[in-house]
Every structure is written in C-alpha cells, then in structure tokens.
Amino acid sequence: QKDLPRKDASTKRMPEFIHFSPLKPYKGREWEKAGSEHVLETHLLPGLHWSCLLEMCALVQAEHSSSACSALQGGAIAILTAAERPGHFAGMVLISPLVLANPESATTFKVLAAKVLNLVLPNLSLGPIDSSVLSRNKTEVDIYNSDPLICRAGLKVCFGIQLLNAVSRVERALPKLTVPFLLLQGSADRLCDSKGAYLLMELAKSQDKTLKIYEGAYHVLHKELPEVTNSVFHEINMWVSQRTATAGTASPP
C-alpha cells in the first residue's frame, strides 16, 4: 500500500476551544496506514477495539501520571472499552455513538442479504458513505470529500457485518457501563439511529450521565452548522471542566 500524507486536513482543523480549556491534546502515536482498507476491516474485531486504546492510555499515564486520559475515537469503541475496563477511565464524551444502526439501512432483508453475501463475496463493495448525510455544513462536507486520508473504496460486506456485530456487542455492554459520560446526539442523524442515545441513557448504570439532543443536526456534530458546533464545544468544555475541578485537577481559567 502507498504511504499516506503525514499531515491531513483534520490536523489543521483542531478545535480552537482546546487552547482555551483545561483539555490538552496528547498525540501519542499514529496509525501508520490510517484510512486504509486494512484498518477498516480489522479495527472492530474482538479484543482489538479496546486493547490498542488501553495500550495508548498506559503510555500517556506513564509519562503524565497526574493527567486524565481521553481518546478521539468511535463511540462504539469507547463504550465497549469503558464497559470492559471501567476503572481505567474517569469519564467519557460521546458524539453520535453507534448504539443502534439506522433502521433504513439495517432492514431485515438487507441484514439477511449481507449475511449471505458475507459467506460468498465478503469483499464486495456496497458503495461509499453519502457525505451529504454527515453534516449540514457544506464547507465541512467539501473538506471531507477532499481529505486524502478518507478511504474511498466503499463499504465492504465484511465490514458491514462487523458493524452489525459491534451494535450487538454495544447493546449487551450497556448494562455494565458505570463510567460518567456526556452524550451529544443529532436528531436527524442518518448513520446512527438517534434512538440509540435514549437506549444508552436508559440502560447504562452510570450515576453521572448527561444527554443533549440537537434538533435537526446530522452525524458529525463538531463539524455542523456554527451554532451547533459552538454549543458542542461549549458543552464538552463545561462538562470536563466541572469534573476536573471537582477532582482538583482543573487549570486556572
């Protein structure tokens, strides 16, 4: 496989709120072939979803023993990891996590067809994601479409099955979830069913859990229309700041 650019558009779009909050980004390691088909096909296999994250957190905490550790990752992976090792995390922020698949995409017929195809043509492409359903912000959609690290090969049948399996694992993991969390969800999300946010709130055993629904917003809330994006950054900043202040680790304003 060809080497991919070391710096991509997403690096240049680091949220400005990071620089004015107690949050400090830590870049521990890079996926050598981020966005490649290999990563897409394997990152949800059993065990790998949390083992790599825990390894990264261990490295961060070894260098900064007093620091809280977080990770930018898929919501499903975050939920599975926190449910598996709750003692490793003081809290998590979830943006449009995969709890329930979109009912239009995961109909009974389509799921059955995918399972059959996975037996005979697992590498068959089902087509790429429609970028117009990611955000109502056309500028952000254009940036996504031109990002060199986005895989354009299309969603394969085998990866679609992995996503369905991940949804099943997430649903089973929810009653084991005790970590405090902030959950942000767009009501018009066409990739992850917004009903999943309510299911997460209902089944999670966390004593500290907060849900905010953005009416009409799509999947990528931190790259949505300005009023949504600004609110998302504000909610994250306030939620984390309040809890780090309680723990006595907050930075001066």
117-160 pLDDT, tens digit per residue, is 999 999 998 888 899 999 999 999 999 999 988 877 788 898 88
pLDDT confidence of residue 172: 94
Helix or strand holding residue 94 (H, E): strand 92-95
pLDDT confidence of residue 154: 81
pLDDT confidence of residue 53: 60
What does the angle CA 228 – CA 229 – CA 230 come to, to the nearest 5 degrees?
Answer: 95
Q: Which amino acid is at 229?
A: T
- Residue 68's nearest CA partner among 223, 253, 246, 252 is 246
In DSSP terms, which residues pair with 92 in a beta bridge?
Answer: 181
- Tokens describing residue 160: 């679609």
End-to-end CA distance of the chain: 46
pLDDT confidence of residue 23: 54
Domains defined for the chain, CATH in brackets: 32-246 (3.40.50.1820)
pLDDT confidence of residue 89: 85
- Tokens describing residue 90: 């003081």
pLDDT digits (tens, 9 = 90+) for 74-88: 788 889 989 988 888
- Tokens describing residue 2: 């060809």
Residues of the chain predicted below pLDDT 70? 1-73, 247-253
pTM: 0.76
pLDDT confidence of residue 205: 97
Number of Cβ within a 10 Å radius of residue 159: 22
